[in-house]
Amino acid sequence: MNLDEFTQGEIPKDALAELQSHFDEADVRFETPRILEHGLGCDILVDVEWYEHDSDRPGHEVRHTVVFLHRPATKLPEFEIRPRTGIPEKALGLLASMLGMPSLELEDEPEFSDRYSVMTTNADSVRVLLGRESIDSILGVDDLFFKFSGRGVLVSRLSVDGSSGRRSSTGVTGTGRMSGGRRRDHGLDDAASRSLLEDALIAAGPIVDDPEVGRRAADAVEGTYAEEAIRNITEKGGFVGRQMAKMLITGDMLDELRTASTPRRDIPRQVARKAWGGTTMPLAIAPAFGFCFAGMGIFMIIGGQTEGLIFAGVGLLALLVSAFILRHRMIRKNLITNGIAVDGRITGVERTNTTVNEDPISKVTIETRDGGEPVVVKMGSQPATQARRMMESNPDTWILRDPRKPARGLWLQGWAIELGLD
């Protein structure tokens, strides 16, 4: 591979959005990217950096060298191919099995199965992708970590999980180099980067470089990749399947909400849990905590103890937090109950520097057809990916708009995994 054909510059917008989706940290940075654009998309060799927060000691910066092959015309399911090396990988496989996470076993490929594990909820479609040419290409290079997304693949020598915001049990494979300022450096020099790029193109090329391969995989299953994944998880059973069954929001639920007259009654439990369920526990604890500390502080102040100011301050802060949580809950509940269903189209998806529960937040912009102002909703990584897919082919959608504040709304379709497009 002649790196002289690659140029340094800004990563194309669509490729950047797909590349960012592989990392959960809000402060992820892509340093000195080298890019080769061509008819299939673009190849990117880049150093990725972010700050890792540790729970029991000071955090540290992490640096990896990765290859991302962006192929906008290739529609793939999401899956990972991981070397079966080291204790972390074995622990991940054991954990996935215990939780009932679907995986793919290639019984007729013992050499491949000895070297790699395939983590996916789309076993049937991925089996089509891993044909003879694909497997031989992967086995023909040194061990790599592959993370296939809908429009390409991220390839690295070392796992980027566990070094990212996902906090998976995988951990960081390899020791890395710790330098001043607590920096864990997994970056590659020029020769090693060239080797990574060459191996990535050889190994992943048969899967990502032929759009027909993706189409054959999609045709091999009923419905979309998202529907295939839901079937596999719920039919598999186990902890993951049971949890998904409890939380799964379906298109039929949303259709009923859309056509129901306001104020809406009998909100589906899954929708209510997604909209404001996360506020229940904080509202049960924070006010009691606040009143308790504020009361203690007041009695201490009356008794002449200045330490009471601290207790009173903590109590008031807890009550203030409670007020913000209650406000959020009431806004969400009002939108679900009284929001007006308005047709629209998705016109933009922009990642922010904010994370919630280690999930990066994006702004999804929806232009409505009622003549009102566009609505910007903040959504997590999965709805953001769903919004990008809709923009590619069918951006038509709908929202619930607040009748009193037209700029406020909810995009419920982003919560329905089964509505995700290939």
pLDDT tens-digit series, residues 242-301: 777 778 898 899 999 999 999 998 899 899 988 887 888 889 899 999 999 999 999 999
Which amino acid appears at position 295 of this protein? G
Q: Are residues 297 and 348 in the same domain?
A: no
**Cα distance between residue 41 and residue 39, in whole Å:** 6
Question: For residue 404, is pLDDT > 80?
Answer: yes
Choose among 12, 44, 20, 13: nearest CA to 385: 20
Looking at the structure, do residues 123 and 161 belong to the same domain, yes or no? Answer: yes
Pair 304, 353 in one domain: no
128 DSSP 8-state letter: H
Of residues 196 and 163, more confidence is placed in 196
Lowest mean pLDDT among 146-155, 194-203, 279-288: 279-288
| Model confidence, pTM | 0.84
| Mean predicted confidence (pLDDT) in 101-118 | 87
395 preceded by a cis bond (ω within 30 of 0)? no
**Per-residue pLDDT, 92:** 67
Select the more confidently predicted residue: 108 or 175.
108
Residue 119 DSSP SS3: strand
One domain, residues 198 and 144: yes
Quick one: 288 and 354 in the same domain? no
* Any domain includes 246: no
Domain residues for 399?
Answer: 339-419
Q: What is the DSSP string of 44-109?
A: EEEEEEEEEPPSSS--EEEEEEEEEEE-TT-----EEEEE--HHHHHHHHHHHHHHT--EE--TT-
Looking at 334, 352, 377, the residue that finishes a domain is: 334
Q: Same domain, yes or no, for 109 and 175?
A: yes
Q: 43 by DSSP, 3-state: which?
A: strand
Measured from the Cβ of residue 368, the count of other Cβ atoms closer than 10 Å reads 20
**First-residue to last-residue Cα distance in the chain:** 31
Q: DSSP for 291-345, please give it.
A: HHHHHHHHHHHHTT-TTHHHHHHHHHHHHHHHHHHHHHHHHHHHHHHHPEEEEEE
Query: Per residue in 23-52, pLDDT tens?
Result: 988 788 999 999 999 999 999 999 999 887
User: What's the pLDDT score for residue 410?
Assistant: 94
One domain, residues 328 and 349: no
pLDDT score at 186: 87
Per DSSP, the three-state class of 5 is: helix
Same-domain check for residues 161 and 282: no
175 shares a domain with 318: no
Strands 396-401 and 340-356 come out as antiparallel
- 58 and 205, same domain (yes or no): yes
pLDDT at 1: 60
pLDDT confidence of residue 76: 93
The answer to whether residue 167 is domain-embedded is yes
Which two structure tokens, joined as six digits, stand for 329?
A: 């809950």
- Contact status, residue 270 vs residue 276, Cβ threshold 8 Å: no
252 lies in some domain: no
pLDDT (tens digit per residue) in 381-403: 999 999 999 988 877 899 999 99
Q: Is 146 found in the same domain as 109?
A: yes
- Establish if 242 belongs to a structural domain: no
Buried b (16+ CB within 10 A) or exposed e, 36-61: beeebbbbbbbbbbbebeeeeeeebb
Q: In b/e form, how buried is each residue of 304-313, taking b as 16+ CB within 10 angstroms?
A: eeeebeebbe
Give pLDDT tens digits for 298-316: 999 998 888 889 999 999 9
Residue 108: inside a domain, yes or no? Answer: yes
Total structural domains within the chain: 3
pLDDT exceeds 60 at position 172: no
In a domain, 180, yes or no: yes
Same domain, 86 and 202: yes
Is residue 250 in some structural domain?
A: no
Q: For residue 355, is pLDDT > 60?
A: yes
Domain membership flag for residue 283: yes
